[in-house]
Amino acid sequence: MGNAYCIFCGCIEQASVGVVEKWGRFDRLAEPGLHFFNPLAGECLSGILSTRICSLDVKIETKTKDNVFVQMLCSIQYRVIRENADDAFYELQNPREQIQAYVFDVVRAHVPKLNLDELFEQKDEVAKAVLEELEKVMGAYGYNIEHILMVDIIPDSSVRKAMNEINAAQRMQLASVYKGEAEKILQVKKAEAEAEAKYLGGVGVARQRQAITDGLRENILNFSHKVEGTSAKEVMDLIMITQYFDTIKELGNSSKNTTVFLPHGPGHVRDISQQIRNGMMEAASAQHVNTE
């Protein structure tokens, strides 16, 4: 229904307080409810104040220590102190303008001492300074400051663009570092894999040659025991000639064969067997020297 009053009576709603005057002077505060006044005695209801929390948004433009212009949106929540409602009614004609003026004064005194990054980090400190100043001043006028919030800090558009570019460049630099480290790890792993493959390939070749040598030795011994009158040299020559012809046969049967010119004849075969025998003897001699 709201507040309603006439010259003889008045109804004051909840969360409100009335100011009663007598012959033009403050007489008392009227609590919520129905009140009767005696106009013959000079009583009247001069006004009604709400004790609800009110909100005031103040937009301040100032600059930081590093000469960056910013706009700050400050939200002030205040209310009338019920016990001091007469001070709030008589002392200030426009409390919102008074609060706004003090907010401007405090913010413009603190922000120029901070860099832009410090302002974002210490915005609660600025709000605390505004709260302390307003409580000290507005308390004398019957107002209590409930909360002060620094809702937003908006730098100039060119500054925001530059800050975004700096952030993007830093992230690109970090991404390049991670990419370089990943490529380095891949190269190292690839080199380790190649080294391991070559090592295992060498081991395989060595084992293959060892197996060939063992097989030749066994064949020579078996042939010498079974065929009387043959020497190890003759058996070796026979094995070399057999392998020589097997190799030529494999080259001819290959699906991707190419033309290969090889010296062919009994003399050349004998030269090849002599070269293989000399190599095996040199290898055995070197192994014997290393053992000693």
Does 1 score more than 50 pLDDT?
no
Tokens of 48: 């009604």
Q: Look over the chain and give the mean of its residue pLDDT values, rounded to a whole number.
A: 78
pTM: 0.53
Over residues 141-160, the mean pLDDT reads: 84
Residues present in the chain in total: 292
Q: Phi and psi for 52 in degrees, rounded to 5? A: -70, 160
Lowest-confidence segment of 39-48, 68-77, 140-149, 277-286 by average pLDDT: 277-286
Does 128 score more than 80 pLDDT?
yes
Does 257 score more than 60 pLDDT?
no
- Predicted confidence at residue 64, as pLDDT, reads 87
The model's confidence at residue 192, banded by pLDDT at 50, 70 and 90, is confident
Over residues 30-41, the mean pLDDT reads: 84
Distance of alpha carbon 99 from alpha carbon 90, whole angstroms = 16
- Predicted confidence at residue 214, as pLDDT, reads 72
- Predicted confidence at residue 232, as pLDDT, reads 62
Over residues 191-215, the mean pLDDT reads: 80
Share of the chain above pLDDT 90, in %: 1
Lowest-confidence segment of 162-166, 222-226, 264-268 by average pLDDT: 264-268
Over residues 14-42, the mean pLDDT reads: 86
Lowest-confidence segment of 24-33, 148-157, 199-208, 280-289 by average pLDDT: 280-289
Over residues 25-36, the mean pLDDT reads: 86
Lowest-confidence segment of 57-61, 82-86, 172-176, 284-288 by average pLDDT: 284-288
| Distance in angstroms between the alpha carbons of the first and the last residue of the chain | 119
Share of the chain above pLDDT 70, in %: 71
- Predicted confidence at residue 252, as pLDDT, reads 67
Does 107 score more than 70 pLDDT?
yes
Does 277 score more than 70 pLDDT?
no
